[in-house]
Amino acid sequence: MSAAEQPTSAVTPGAAALEVDDLEVTFHRRGRRLPVLKGVTLKIERGQAYGLVGESGCGKTTLAMAAMRYLASNGTLDNGRVLVDGQDVSTLSEEALRKWRGGKVAMVYQDPTQALSPAMRIGDQLAEVYHYHEGMNKKEALEQARESLRRVAIPDPDGTLRRYPFELSGGQQQRVVIAMALAVNPQLLILDEPTTGLDATVEAEILDLIEELRGRINAAILLITHNLGLVVRLCERVGVLYAGRLVEEGSAKEVFTDPRHPYTMGLLRCVPRFGMNKTDAALQTIPGTLPALGDPLEGCVYSARCPMAQPVCKRREPDFYAWPGDAAIRGQAEAEAMPPDPAAYSPHHAMPVGESSRHTRCYFTADVESMPHLTPVLATSLDERGGDTDVLDIDSMVRTFKDGSKKLTAVANVSLSLKKGETFGLVGESGSGKTTLAKCVTGLIPADSGTVTFEGGILKSTAGKRSQDALRAIQMVFQNPDSTLNPAWSTRQILTRAVRKLGGAKEGSVRAKVDKLSADVRVEPRFLFQRPTELSGGQKQRIAIARAFAGDPHLVICDEPASALDVSVQASILNLLVELQTKEQASYVFISHDLAVVRYISDRIGVMYLAELIEVGAAADVFDPPHHPYTEALLSSIPRLDFEKQRDRIPLRGSMPSLTDPPSGCRFHTRCHRSLGDICAQQVPPDMDAGNGHTYRCHIPPDELLALQQAGASEPEPAETL
């Protein structure tokens, strides 16, 4: 093997962990050249974490694939280099690459099914990593595999080793992939949306593991994410990518507290801040969509969507300016004074990357902070939405499953109610029973016992036994629209079928109803003739929402409807749901891991733990002390955008117990930071009344819990946007 093929040997002294130099990547499809990355330059030093943010389709994953030399066969590297520890990855042989991947560089994908073989047990897949890279025998490798599962908080590591990937939840699969990536302590860890399917508590534990790795072996991290709070939590530097161009780069604190590109400002305004509710204001969104691959782009790549765009922006693309620079030659006056021929303009205040820690690709950098807000559209109050009438009442619901020879209780004696026009947010870790409860309400699976009363009548246990009116009135929007939209049909065919089946429209009015539905969810008419595979994730989710509203439902169950979407698309989906609720007075059960999103859209919130509903109350009350110690831990785990007011995380002890053998007494006592000892371990706690309809299941009374939680609380984060 040549010297150029030695990826795991000596490291070039002083070299960056990852250096991308003027990278250009093009995909070739049906005789067309589709540029994806255009002149991207960035550097990650050893031990440094670098966040890469931007909407889906901007080129983030393509950059990661180029760094791993994983580009598809129709992708070409037209210009530039990718250096890892000073070594050009394009010089490595296939054999050297196999050792290099997983040994020196590891990658965690957003979709764990890409990295896990469906035909191999989890233990064998993990052990293979230790055997191949560390030379361990089978027994040693399996023991290390078991330990790696413990490190990523997998419940029942021994049982998980024996299971196949399809027997695990999406969050558990992702933890397995992260365990594989961390197995042999890589020097560069590329994380592509690594925590999308994870709970806030597990996400925080994974981030702790990653930071531990950095401190122990000085590993570098490239974090690709749409969760801007993760960048705040983990990264020193951040790059903002749009349409294949790096439009802003600098320290994470500078970029997020003082954005200097309109696109960065737009992304930050999309995020619901803690304490913000739908009745305060609508979320800011970025109008329009990304340019399609292959579209000719003249001038600034963002000009078509930018509220600050001027004629010069469409004539000539801005250079990557250093900030701060010479303010006397910035701003609109400079642009208006430019000669008509953009070639005559010489941006003498442009500075090469590397001579300043802060860069932005915009002519109006100094004016970004005055970028106009869209006029907020406020949601009506719950009373105006009809909130005095009960729509749903669940009484003592129980649902069990068989797990081998044991019985697993997924929903344990849960009772809750929902009013007309109300949104009930449901939160809790994976496996707590949220989705099972939702499926019992919709009749996808039957409950073992208990009743579901809907608009005054008791529902049959399964959808097949319910009336057509009940089926039309209760709909569900799933996290992944790909699993529910027929890929062989156009979106118009999908909506047409829904209108005929659910809407009861006559043939002549079907087309009009479909057109109204698509207009309500702001899907352009041209997309109605495309199949789901030709749509973006946000467009597919809009079609799924339109289909759910085809029969004018009274109750919509939303199961993680926006968790896998960009912040810009997420904001538009949340605004859409609020708008439809205000217009139609529909009621929602909204399930999500993102507590800021739940706080924004919900009127009331329920917290589930180990199949039990342990807290219920108004959204503002549940998020403020006194609240259940589990809720307190959940809130402390959330990455926030405020650099100055990060809360100390409350780590939960161990992993979530198995539902086949839940703890005695209070189910949370084995992990609780406020456990009182024997009383918690032996006695089932009562429901404490904290006032205003807010109850929680705990042995600590409200006044004592309030004093404990206020003593350790930081100042609340202001509910405002940029």
Q: Which residues pair with 476 in a beta bridge?
A: 557
**Residue 478: which pLDDT band, with cuts at 50, 70 and 90?**
confident
Domain end marker among 550, 576, 609: 609
The pLDDT of residue 695: 97
The pLDDT of residue 170: 66
The pLDDT of residue 200: 82
One domain for residues 565 and 671: no
**Residue 713: which pLDDT band, with cuts at 50, 70 and 90?**
low
One domain for residues 596 and 642: no
One domain for residues 470 and 415: yes
Which of 204, 698, 169 has the alpha carbon at shortest distance from 434?
169
Lowest mean pLDDT among 71-80, 621-630, 648-657, 710-719: 710-719
One domain for residues 603 and 497: yes
CATH number at residue 420: 3.40.50.300
Domain assignment present for 415? yes
Identify the domain containing residue 465 by its residue range: 390-609
Q: In what order do the strands lie in the sheet with 87-88?
A: 32-44, 18-29, 75-84, 87-88
Most distant pair of Cα atoms in the chain: their distance = 81
Burial (0-12, 13-18, 19+ Cβ within 10 Å), 45: middle
Find out whether 288 and 242 touch, Cβ atoms under 8 Å: no
Lowest mean pLDDT among 4-18, 278-292, 380-394, 555-569: 4-18
One domain for residues 605 and 638: no
Q: Before 324, cis peptide (omega within 30)?
A: yes
Tell how far CA 597 is from the center of its chain.
Answer: 11
Provide the domain count of the chain.
3
Of the two residues 392 and 526, the one the predictor is more confident about is 392
Beta strand pairing status for 587-591 and 423-427? parallel
The pLDDT of residue 272: 87
The pLDDT of residue 240: 97
Q: 149 CB contacts (<8 Å, ≥6 apart)?
A: 122, 126, 157, 160, 161, 175, 176, 179
**Residue 375: which pLDDT band, with cuts at 50, 70 and 90?**
low
Q: Cα–Cα distance between 707 and 426 in angstroms, integer?
A: 26
Cα atoms in the 13 Å half-sphere on the side-chain side of 267: 29
One domain for residues 484 and 540: yes
Domain assignment present for 330? no
* Dihedral in degrees, nearest 10, Cα atoms 372, 375, 381, 387: -110
Q: With 50 as the cut, is the pLDDT of residue 3 above it?
A: no
HEC secondary structure over 493-516? HHHHHHHHHHHCCCHHHHHHHHHH
Q: What is the mean pLDDT of residues 526-543?
A: 85
Domain assignment present for 430? yes
Domain assignment present for 253? no
Q: 136 CB contacts (<8 Å, ≥6 apart)?
A: 127, 130, 144
One domain for residues 428 and 524: yes
| pLDDT tens by residue, 94-146 | 888 888 887 789 898 877 777 899 999 999 999 998 888 888 998 999 999 99
The pLDDT of residue 292: 81
Q: Cα–Cα distance between 578 and 392 in angstroms, integer?
A: 19
One domain for residues 533 and 676: no
Domain assignment present for 572? yes
Q: Which residues pair with 394 in a beta bridge?
A: 416, 452
One domain for residues 673 and 582: no
One domain for residues 587 and 636: no
Domain assignment present for 402? yes
What is the reported pTM? 0.85
Domain assignment present for 72? no
One domain for residues 592 and 653: no
Q: With 50 as the cut, is the pLDDT of residue 719 above it?
A: no
Domain end marker among 180, 198, 223: 180
Q: What is the mean pLDDT of residues 604-615?
A: 96
The pLDDT of residue 103: 78
Q: What is the mean pLDDT of residues 358-384?
A: 81
One domain for residues 480 and 572: yes
**Residue 62: which pLDDT band, with cuts at 50, 70 and 90?**
very high
Of the two residues 264 and 567, the one the predictor is more confident about is 264
Domain end marker among 576, 609, 642: 609
Q: With 50 as the cut, is the pLDDT of residue 358 above it?
A: yes
Count of beta carbons in the 10 Å neighbourhood of residue 714: 12
| pLDDT tens by residue, 556-565 | 999 988 877 7
Phi first, then psi: give them for residue 416, nearest 5 degrees.
-160, 165
Domain assignment present for 591? yes
